[in-house]
Amino acid sequence: MNRDTAEKQINKLHNLLNQYNYEYHVLDNPSVPDSEYDKLMQELVQLESEYPELITPSSPTQRVGGQALSDFEKVRHQTQMLSLANAFSESDLRDFDRRVRQAIDDSYSYVCELKIDGLAVSLRYEEGLFVQGSTRGDGTIGEDITSNLRTIRSLPLKLKEPYSIEVRGEAFMPKKSFIKLNKEKEAKGEMLFANPRNAAAGSLRQLDPKIAASRNLDIFLYGIGDFGTMGVSTHSSGLDLLERVGLKVNKERKRCNSIEEVLQYIERWTKDRPNLDYEIDGIVIKVDSLDQQIDLGTTAKSPRWAIAYKFPAEEVVTKLTDIELSVGRTGVITPTAILEPVRVAGTTVQRASLHNEDLIREKDIMLGDWVIVKKAGDIIPEVVHVLEERRNGEEIPFHMPTHCPECSSELVRLDGEVALRCLNPKCPAQRREGLIHFASRNAMNIEGLGEKVISQLFALELVKDPADIYSLTEDQLLSMERMGEKSAANLLKAIEVSKSNSLEKLLFGLGIRHVGAKAAATLAEHFETMDKLAVAKTEDLLLIDEVGEKMADAISTYFENEEVEQLLVKLKNAGVNMEYLGPKRSETVNIDSIFNGKTVVLTGKLEKMSRNDAKAKIESMGGKVTGSVSKKTDLVIAGEEAGSKLTKAEELGIEVWDEEKLLEELEK
The CATH number that applies at residue 193 is 3.30.470.30
In DSSP terms, 411 is beta-bridged to 422
Same-domain pairing of 440 and 565: no
In angstroms, rounded to a whole number, what is the distance separating the alpha carbons of residues 580 and 451? 27
Tell me what pLDDT residue 586 has: 46
User: Pick from 295, 310, 325: which residue ends a domain?
Assistant: 310
Q: Does the residue 216 lie in any domain?
A: yes
Residues in the chain, pLDDT under 50: 377, 586, 588
Q: Does the residue 162 lie in any domain?
A: yes
In angstroms, rounded to a whole number, what is the distance separating the alpha carbons of residues 171 and 217? 7
Same-domain pairing of 212 and 282: yes
Which residues are catalytic, by number?
115
Q: Does the residue 80 lie in any domain?
A: no
Q: Around 414, how many Cα atoms within 13 Å sit in the side-chain half-sphere? A: 12
Same-domain pairing of 201 and 320: no
Same-domain pairing of 149 and 173: yes
Same-domain pairing of 290 and 437: no
Q: Does the residue 407 lie in any domain?
A: no
Tell me what pLDDT residue 532 has: 95
The domain that contains 612 carries what CATH number? 3.40.50.10190
In angstroms, rounded to a whole number, what is the distance separating the alpha carbons of residues 206 and 66? 13
Domain limits at 14?
3-62
Close Cβ partners of 560 (under 8 Å, ≥ 6 residues apart): none
Same-domain pairing of 170 and 141: yes
Same-domain pairing of 305 and 320: no
Same-domain pairing of 492 and 529: no
Q: Around 383, how many Cα atoms within 13 Å sit in the side-chain half-sphere? A: 34
Structural domains counted in the chain = 6
Q: Does the residue 177 lie in any domain?
A: yes
Residue-wise pLDDT for 353-406, tens only, equals 898 888 999 999 999 999 999 875 456 788 989 999 999 999 999 999 999 999
Same-domain pairing of 291 and 336: no
The domain that contains 7 carries what CATH number? 1.10.287.610
Tell me what pLDDT residue 261 has: 97
Q: Does the residue 587 lie in any domain?
A: no
Tell me what pLDDT residue 183 has: 87
Tell me what pLDDT residue 588 has: 45
Same-domain pairing of 337 and 299: no
Q: Around 167, how many Cα atoms within 13 Å sit in the side-chain half-sphere? A: 36
In angstroms, rounded to a whole number, what is the distance separating the alpha carbons of residues 48 and 57? 12
Same-domain pairing of 42 and 94: no
Phi/psi for 190 (5° steps) reads -100, 160
Q: Does the residue 105 lie in any domain?
A: yes
Residue-wise pLDDT for 323-344, tens only, equals 999 998 889 999 999 999 988 7
Q: For the whole model, what pTM was predicted?
A: 0.51
Phi/psi for 289 (5° steps) reads -70, 125
In angstroms, rounded to a whole number, what is the distance separating the alpha carbons of residues 334 and 417? 13
Same-domain pairing of 27 and 99: no
> Counting Cβ atoms within 10 Å, is residue 549 exposed (0-12), middle (13-18) or buried (19+)?
exposed
The domain that contains 332 carries what CATH number? 2.40.50.140
Q: Does the residue 406 lie in any domain?
A: no
> Counting Cβ atoms within 10 Å, is residue 90 exposed (0-12), middle (13-18) or buried (19+)?
middle
The domain that contains 560 carries what CATH number? 1.10.150.20
